[in-house]
Every structure is written in structure tokens, then in C-alpha cells.
Amino acid sequence: MTKNTLLSVGWIRIYLLKTEIQRLLLTSVGFGFLLLLARTVYTGGLTFAFLVWNLFLAFVPYFFSYSLRVRPAWIKNKWKFAAVFTIWLLFIPNSFYMLTDLFHLYDSVAVPRWYDLLLILCFAWNALLMGILSVRHMEKIIQSIWSYRFEWLFVYPVMLLNAIGIYIGRYLRFNSWDLVSNPFRLIADTTQILAHPIFYRNAWAMTICFSFFLGILYMTLKKLSKAI
């Protein structure tokens, strides 16, 4: 076999060794990239190139939660688990944030509007799937460490954090990296929202609505997987 053939066989084996849901997710991500590539080639512009970066940020929490699942030793080591869990909490809002990328949908003379709708939905759906799978990974891990009766005790606080992250990202224009590059301004702006809920009532209205929506969405898909 040639070197290229061996590499191809290697990638096929890696692909086939993944779970069914991972294969479907990988296929969906590939479809999204094909849509983006076709649009880029056709228009000669990089209008929606930011979707790639946003999807990468959505993949980060999935990577860490999956890493915990396949490395039980990390869970038993409280310091490693605390570090990974903290990073996961900081990045998980990115997975649900991509729902708001639909704000970028507009009438384009370059391509039909339905194409851009499909493109954005595809990337948002992939990010959402990563987020839901990641939360499910972490929920199982937390349940194995601390037994608790009501699953909402874990799910809703996480979804509330996601909703707050969505608002901060979409309207305050911060992202997870700003925790390192611009932490003081991020903390200051976030503190203002927490300290003055009446003045920022629209922010809280959006946050509460999104937190319930994301929680219901997560629980529905979770129960649906068991009902079928």
C-alpha cells in the first residue's frame, strides 16, 4: 500500500471506531463545511467564515467532557476534575450561543436566502448537538459523584449559565477568551447586570426565557432518546 492509501485507511478506521452518534455528528459537520465552502467559492467572499471559529469554540466543552468520560482517573483526581470542570463551565455557553447566529441571516444578492438559512442552521445544529451531548456527559459524571434526586438541580443552573453567556456574547460582545485577555472589563460589565436587574430588565428577560427554553430542549431530547 502507498502512504496515502494507508492514511486513508487510518482515517476510515478512526471514523468507523466512533459511536453512531459521533459518526452522524461528524457527517453533519462535514455537510456544513461543504455548504460553507460552496458559498465561499461561489461568492468569492468570507462572509460566514466566523461560523468555523464559533463551531470550534462549541467543540471545546464537548472535547473536555468526553475526555473525562474516557479517562476515569481524571474524575477520581479531584484537582484534575475541578480544573477540567471549571474550563468546561467557562466554554459550554459557546455551544448554545450559535443559535443566535441566525441574527446574521439577511437578504443577499449573492445567494438565495434559503441557502444562508440552511448554512447557519446546520452550524447552529451541530454546535447545539455538541452542547447537549456535553451536558449529558457531565450530568452522568456528576451523578456518579454526588447522588441527587432531581436532575433539574444540575440541568437548570447550567442552562442559566448558558443563557447568561449567550447574552454576554451576543450583546456585550465578549467570548470565553476574554476571561484571560480582558477579565476586568468582563467582570465589571457582568457585575453591572447582576447589581441592577431593573435597569437591565431586557437582559434578564432574555436570560430567563433562554434558560427555560434550553432546559426544556435538553430534557426533551434526553427523554426522547429513551422513549424511542
Over residues 127-167, the pLDDT tens digits come to 999 999 999 999 999 988 887 777 888 999 999 999 999 99
Residue 26 domain flag: no
pLDDT at 227 over 70: no
Confidence of residue 208 (pLDDT cuts 50, 70, 90): very high
Arithmetic mean of pLDDT, 103-116? 86
- Residue 208 neighbours by CB under 8 Å, 6+ apart: 163
Residue 3 domain flag: no
Give dist(CA 167, CA 148) in Å, integer.
30
The Cα angle at residue 122 between residues 121 and 128, in degrees rounded to 5: 85
Q: For all residues of the chain together, what is the average pLDDT?
A: 87
Domain extent for 208: 32-227
Confidence of residue 16 (pLDDT cuts 50, 70, 90): very low
Alpha carbon distances (Å) from 21 to 69, 97, 122, 167: 15, 22, 16, 29
Count of Cβ atoms closer than 10 Å to residue 53 Cβ: 11
Arithmetic mean of pLDDT, 172-180? 77
Residue 181 domain flag: yes
Residue 1 domain flag: no
- Residue 40 neighbours by CB under 8 Å, 6+ apart: 46, 49
Residue 11 domain flag: no
Residue 119 domain flag: yes
Scan for cell 434526586, then name that residue. 149
Confidence of residue 4 (pLDDT cuts 50, 70, 90): low
Residue 16 domain flag: no
Confidence (pLDDT) at 49: 93
pTM of the model: 0.86
Confidence of residue 13 (pLDDT cuts 50, 70, 90): low
Confidence (pLDDT) at 145: 84
Q: Residue 189 corresponds to which amino acid?
A: D
Contact 102, 128 (CB under 8 A): no
Confidence (pLDDT) at 193: 87
pLDDT at 65 over 90: yes
Number of domains in the chain: 1
Residue 25 domain flag: no
